[in-house]
Structures are given as C-alpha cells and as structure tokens.
Amino acid sequence: MPYTKDTNSALNKLLNSQKFGVLATQGQGQPYASLVAFVASDDFKFLAFATQRGTRKYSNMTFEPRAAILIDNRKNTAKDISSAAAVTAVGQVRKVNKTNPLCSLLLAKHPDITDFIKSKDCAIMCLDVSSYYFVDHFQKVTEIKP
C-alpha cells in the first residue's frame, strides 16, 4: 500500500500512545520474544528500551543484532478485526550510553522504571529502524521508511 499522511499520523499515534512492545530476537537458532517498555525518537528512526545485561534478550542481541519490535493497540474484542492497528519495526539493535538523549526520553515516558533504568546492570538498547510495517483494517499493510 502507498504511504500517506494519514498513515504517518496513525504511526505517530500508535508509537506515542503505547508504552509496551514485543521484542523479537534470535539466539542459538531459536526465536525469542520479550515484552519491553519502549520509546520512539521524534523522527521515528530509533526505538529505545532497557534490559538487564544478564537476560536472554541481551545475550541474543549481542550475538545477533537484527531484531524487531511489534507494537499494537488491540483490546482483545471482536472490534479489533476492523479497528486494531499494529506496527512491526525492524532493524539492528545497539547499546547506547545512558547519557544518550534516548535514555532521557525513555525515563520521561516510563518514570515508574527509573530505578531499573539507572541500575548498573541495565543496558539501554536502541533499535535503528530500517522499516516499519504498519497494519490496520486487519490486512492493509504499509511499509514506512523512517
């Protein structure tokens, strides 16, 4: 589907209204999914999230930096078929310093996990988004390059 101004508005609304996404990583030949608290940069080029260094997702991202994050607004009702929207952000993950502006954005969106983010075992990860695959109206898919 062609990219439109309405699609950009819907992507903006989804990324800014949702607090959590599902991170998909791979390690030792197996896929792995994790719930993460995330934030999007203002230009949508980056998604940031926090994780402890001792987790499977961190190990997987260190081994294989290609990853995806799914963000959706479903409510688990029958209306989701026509009204739910989801976006899959794909790209490469890298660790960023806690002085990176993305860390401040993450703290602002998720003040309830401040202690977790500031702990010495926590790493701030950044998904450099190469594409978004935005799905609405059940099957309408639009690819968006940030």
Cα 18 to Cα 48: distance, rounded to the nearest angstrom: 13
Helix or strand (DSSP H, E) at 68: strand 66-72
- Side-chain-facing half-sphere of 76: CA atoms under 13 Å: 0
Is the predicted pLDDT of residue 138 greater than 90, yes or no?
A: no
Confidence of residue 130 (pLDDT cuts 50, 70, 90): very high
pLDDT in tens, 95-108: 999 999 999 999 99
Number of domains, the chain? 1
| Residue whose token pair is 């993460």 | 36
Cα 58 to Cα 34: distance, rounded to the nearest angstrom: 11
Confidence of residue 2 (pLDDT cuts 50, 70, 90): very low
CATH of the domain at 104: 2.30.110.10
Q: What is the pLDDT of residue 51?
A: 98
DSSP per-residue letters across 94-109: EEE-TTSHHHHHHHHH
Q: Which domain holds residue 44?
A: 5-144
pLDDT in tens, 48-91: 999 999 999 999 999 999 999 999 998 887 776 778 899 999 99
Confidence of residue 136 (pLDDT cuts 50, 70, 90): confident
H helices then E strands: how many in the chain?
5, 7
Confidence of residue 6 (pLDDT cuts 50, 70, 90): confident
Cβ–Cβ under 8 Å, residues 69 and 89: yes
Cα 20 to Cα 15: distance, rounded to the nearest angstrom: 9
**What contacts 9, CB < 8 A, 6 or more positions away?**
none
Please state the separation of Cα 58 from the chain's center in Å. 15
Q: Average the pLDDT over 117-121 and give the result.
A: 96
Q: What is the pLDDT of residue 113?
A: 97
Is the predicted pLDDT of residue 1 greater than 60, yes or no?
A: no
pTM for the complete prediction? 0.91
Q: What is the pLDDT of residue 78?
A: 76
